[in-house]
Amino acid sequence: MTPVTKLDVEQKPTKAGNQDEHIYGQMFAAILEQRLSPGTKLSEDVLGEIFSVSRTVIRKILQRLAHEKVVNILPNRGAYVSEPTPDEARDVLDARKVVEEGIMRRVIKNISASDIRHLEGMLIEEATSIERGEHSRWVALSGDFHLALAKIAGNESLTDYLRELVSRTSLIHVQYQSKKMGNQSCSCEEHGDIIQAIREGSEEKAVQLMIDHLQVCEEQLNLDGKEPESDLYEIFSGTTGSDA
């Protein structure tokens, strides 16, 4: 599991409210970017030392994260990064399909030229992170792409709910990612296809591309507890002699 002490801590704001938001943002990002693994203990004392704040401040932030279902607070045991069950994982992924279908339909109605340029800029950042092998940054940017679409949709409640679902999805991927991981560049290309459908104003196409994209993400997970069967052709391809 990723130690809590690896949190990236920036200079602290002076105002209490801004300070709380800063710490919350750092912890949320560490979960979203998969730097905090499911089951990691979130010690109030350690976090208080890292961020130079009281346990009371940390406790309030942990309670906020627990409300968003990315942290579990257990009586007499403390706080831990949530460990979604397979059923919870399926529920989250199904909820994302429903929510993001609604978001896409609103995006088609609200999109502007500047919005499209912004999404295209995000796509370039995604591709760059993949080329550089920056997995954590790619994970964060991929989530940000979906949240940017929610913002364009113009429904604050949908955006808040999707933010929770995206962070929970990140935990799900850490816990259930299949050994046969999907190609990150393919996911980036799928985002590009979605942008193109939005540019064309094709609502049904954009919705279907988003649903397909989320389905591919789900298929990369090992939610049934079974390891995929080995492909003998893939394993031994190129290893046999010409006389075999």
What's the pLDDT tens digit per position in 198-224? 999 999 999 999 999 999 988 888 888
The CATH number given to whatever domain includes residue 55 is: 1.10.10.10
Q: What is the pLDDT of residue 41?
A: 93
Q: What is the pLDDT of residue 153?
A: 97
Q: What is the pLDDT of residue 185?
A: 61
**Secondary structure (DSSP) of the chain:** ---GGG----PPPSSHHHHHHHHHHHHHHHHHTT-S-TT-EE-HHHHHHHHT--HHHHHHHHHHHHHTTSEEEETTTEEEE----HHHHHHHHHHHHHHHHHHHHHHHHH--HHHHHHHHHHHHHHHHHHHTT-HHHHHHHHHHHHHHHHHHHT-HHHHHHHHHHHHHHHHHHHHHB-SSPPPHHHHHHHHHHHHHHHHHT-HHHHHHHHHHHHHHHHHTB--SSPPPPP-HHHHHTTTS-TT-
Q: What is the pLDDT of residue 238?
A: 58
Question: What pTM value is reported for the model?
Answer: 0.75
Please count the structural domains in the chain.
2
Residues 202 and 143 in one domain: yes
Domain that holds residue 36: 4-81
Q: What is the pLDDT of residue 62?
A: 96
- Which segments in the chain show pLDDT lower than 50? 1-14, 180-181, 228-230, 232, 235-236, 240, 242, 244
The CATH number given to whatever domain includes residue 173 is: 1.20.120.530
Looking at the domain assignment, is residue 240 inside a domain? Answer: no
Q: What is the pLDDT of residue 213?
A: 95
Residues 197 and 104 in one domain: yes
Exposed e or buried b per residue across 102-135, where buried means at least 16 C-beta atoms within 10 angstroms of its C-beta:
ebbebbbeebeeebeeebeebbebbbebbeeeee
